[in-house]
Amino acid sequence: MRRAWYALLVLPFAGTLIPPLYNHARPALFGLPFFYWYQLAWVPVTAAILGLVISLTRKRSDV
Amino acid sequence: MSSAAVVLAVAVLSVTALGFFAARWGGANLSDLEQWALGGRSFGTIVSWFLLGGDLYTAYTFIAVPALVYGVGALGFFAVPYATVAYPIALVVLARFWGIARRRGYVTTADFVRDRYGDRTLEIAIALTGVVAAMPYVALQLVGMRAVFGRFSGLGATGSFLALTAAFVLLAAYTYTSGLRAPAMIAFVKDTLIYVTVIAAIAVIPIRLGGWPHIFALSQAVLARRPHAPSIYLKPAQYFTYATMAFGSALSLFIYPHSITSVLAARSREVIRRNAALLPIYSLLLGLLALLGYCAVAAGIVTKDASTVVPALFARYFPDWFDGVADAAIVIGALVPAAIMCIGAANLFASNVFREFSPRRTPVETHVAKILTLVMCAFALLFIFFVPVPFAIDFQLLGGALMLQIFPAFVLGLWTRWFHPKALLAGWACGLVASCAMAYAGGFTSNYTLHAFGGSLTGFIAFYGLLLNLLVSAILTVLLRAVRLDAGMDRTSAGDFA
């Protein structure tokens, strides 16, 4: 089932919408507290997940 | 004139020329609504990326997000998870909507609702929600522009009033002439300027302030001394607020009329899907910009009007000519979304409120949409001169809560016809009234504290409104189906969605 790949899209929600997971100062990166760089990091990670899902679910009619 | 003013004036005049020139792009017949309003549904991946980026990440966003972080600390950073989870939603919802819109020739969300539910009242309700939500949003773009013009003391109050009016009249004129092609072309300039400005700001300002560890430590100390002691971390009581603000805003981002207009201008479904993965680049930019809020705190910038925080920061740390580039980025960054919002709202009004005179989209309808674009611009201008800025921001927050109330009818309607149109209408009305009441009770903040079962929970008003809306829609659907009330005709077929 190609459509099952869409389930991967749950990851960004789980990763970013539960603040107690990341509401800390440490570990810091480039001087940014964890709270900030962790959420920023989810932006490219989400883009990568989207790219993966898009390529795995492409229909033959899509160009 | 300062060199900043020269750079700004040249930039605004150049994009005006570009806006008029855009009418010749593709040699289209602009009396056709699909050509004027949707650029002939011909935009490829790159044009769509610039257009959607220019449309969704408005100048106001770039001013308001750092201003919010400057004002309330960590809670203001909700814009980042918001601009992250919006894209998985976009991939699923917009690709599906694009498909059926292309097949059945929709220009608006309300076109789909009319076809799907065969209910004229619901169609008009959906259309008017979009128009009402768009209006303060256009006005807020003007707030961004005014924050820039207001800084040129040489202009004086009258001069900055005239500059703002002139820029906006020109915007109305080229939008009227060229339609969506004008903001699409200007978006290239806008986005380039925004990228250059933000990258320069992030490269220059934190180092001048002694580096990030110092900025965060200083911000924490300064914020702790303010009333209500905001912090650079969330308090546990803010967890639910933070998550619902991010999630609720993400759900509503793509159902705004200006988002839909840009989405429907795409050439293919794959263009939309690809852009769902490419647009987060702008979110990264927004996240970095949000951190400038702390730079402003650490730099000791003190202001009553938070919308001046970013321009003040640029003025302090950039050389004069580059400050002009940054100002141009903000002003042009306001013009692009303002034009698309006016077009989107005008489409809704022309196609779904004014319509039913002719089953086919005749040139008369394009004419109506063009005139309505001018009306929208005029309203926004009046709004900004007669409504104080804090009210404009309140209206915009409320607009977001109103916008989300079309979610059950529009987004869920893309997958299921289970809901009864009258139930959706009742749910929409309840969500609307409840959102307004909560906003009013809380003195126009975006959050409301619910007291129940001995505890309290502070969450995003739009989110609570949507929950009530869904509940009412579902219960009434069961009841109305039980009494076999006519559920209206569904003119779509399963094949239309494929």
Enter the ipTM. 0.94
For residue B200, the model assigns a pLDDT of 92
| Residue B216 neighbours by CB under 8 Å, 6+ apart | A31, A32, A33, B232, B294
Per-domain residue ranges of chain B: 3-390
Residue in A23, A30, A43 nearest the CB of B84:
A43
A56 touches chain B (CB under 8 A): no
- Residues A17, B284: C-beta atoms closer than 8 Å: no
Query: Cβ–Cβ of B92/A51 closer than 8 Å?
Result: no
Alpha-carbon distance of B159 to B22, in angstroms, equals 29
Domain coverage including residue A42: 2-56
Percent pLDDT > 70 in chain B is: 96
Kindly determine whether residue B83 and residue A43, on different chains, have CB atoms separated by under 8 Å: yes
Give chain A's domain count: 1
The terminus-to-terminus CA distance of chain A in angstroms comes to 21
Q: Which of B65, B84, B458 to mutate to test the interface with A (most CBs of A within 10 A)?
A: B84
pLDDT-wise least confident of B215-224, B289-298, B356-365: B356-365
CB-CB neighbors (< 8 A) of A58 in chain B: 270, 273
Mean pLDDT of B451-457: 74
Contact B87 A46 (CB under 8 A): yes
| pLDDT score at B247 | 93
Q: Please answer yes or no on whether B233 and A42 come within 8 Å at the CB atom.
A: no
- Specify if A63 maps to a domain: no
Distance from CA of A53 to the nearest CA of B (A): 10
Task: Report whether the peptide linkage leading into residue A44 is cis, meaning its omega lies within 30 degrees of zero.
Answer: no
Residue B396 is predicted with a pLDDT of 74
In terms of pLDDT, which residue wins out, B342 or B448?
B342
Q: How confident is the model at residue A42 (pLDDT cuts 50, 70, 90)?
A: very high
Per-residue pLDDT, B484: 83
The 10s digit of each residue's pLDDT in B30-69 is: 778 888 888 888 899 999 999 999 888 888 788 888 988 9
- A21–B contact, CB cutoff 8 A: no
Position B157 confidence tier, pLDDT thresholds 50, 70, 90: confident
Q: How close B164 gets to chain A, by Cα (Å)?
A: 35
Beta bridge partners of B449: B458
Is B233–A9 a contact, with Cβ atoms under 8 angstroms apart?
Answer: no
A48 located within any domain: yes
Q: What is the pLDDT of residues B335-373, one digit of tens each?
A: 889 999 999 999 898 888 876 545 555 556 788 888 888
Mean pLDDT on B469-489: 90
**Whether B277 and A20 lie within 8 Å, measured CB to CB:** no
Contact B85, A13 (CB under 8 A): yes
Closest CB to A39: pick one of B80, B232, B278.
Answer: B80
pLDDT at B364: 60
Q: What is the distance in angstroms between the Cα of A27 and the nearest Cα belonging to chain B?
A: 12
Architecture of domain B3-390: Up-down Bundle (1.20)
User: What pLDDT score does B164 carry?
Assistant: 83
Higher-scoring residue by pLDDT: B391, B345: B345
- The first and second tokens of residue B462, run together, are 């739009």
Report whether pLDDT(A48) > 80: yes
Is there a contact between B459 and B450 (Cβ–Cβ < 8 Å)?
Answer: yes
pLDDT at B274 over 90: yes
Under an 8 A CB cutoff, do A44 and B77 touch? no
**In angstroms, what separates the C-alpha of B466 from chain A's closest C-alpha?**
18
Question: Residue B6 in 3-state DSSP?
Answer: helix
In a domain, A61, yes or no: no
Contact check, Cβ <8 Å, A36/B284: no
Instruction: Write out B125-166 in H/E/C secondary structure.
Output: HHHHHHHHHHHHHHHHHHHHHHHHHCCCHHHHHHHHHHHHHH
Q: Measure in Å the smallest separation between the Cα of A34 and chain B Cα atoms.
A: 10
CB pair distance less than 8 Å for A40 and B232: no
Q: How far apart are CA B277 and CA A54, in angstroms?
A: 8
> Does any domain span residue A28?
yes
Which long-range CB contacts under 8 A does B229-234 form with residues at least 24 apart?
B230/B71, B230/B72, B230/B73, B230/B74, B230/B75, B231/B73, B231/B74, B232/A33, B232/A35, B232/B73, B232/B74, B232/B294, B233/A23, B233/A24, B233/A25, B233/A33, B233/A35, B233/B73, B233/B74, B234/A19, B234/A23, B234/A35, B234/B74, B234/B75
Per-residue pLDDT, B392: 66
Q: Is A58 helix (H, G, I), strand (E, B) or coil?
A: coil
Q: What is the mean pLDDT of chain B?
A: 87
Kindly state whether A27 is in contact with chain B, defined as any CB-CB distance less than 8 angstroms. no
Are A6 and B277 an interchain contact pair (Cβ–Cβ within 8 Å)?
no
Residues in Cβ contact with B437 at an 8 Å cutoff, skipping those fewer than 6 apart: none
Q: How many CB pairs under 8 A join A and B?
A: 108
Task: List chain B residues with CB under 8 Å of A51.
Answer: 277
| Domain-located, residue A27 | yes
In angstroms, the Cα distances linking B302 to B217, B288, B307, B318 are: 18, 21, 12, 18
- Supply the pLDDT for residue B77: 93
Indicate yes or no: CB of A28 within 8 angstroms of CB of B288: no
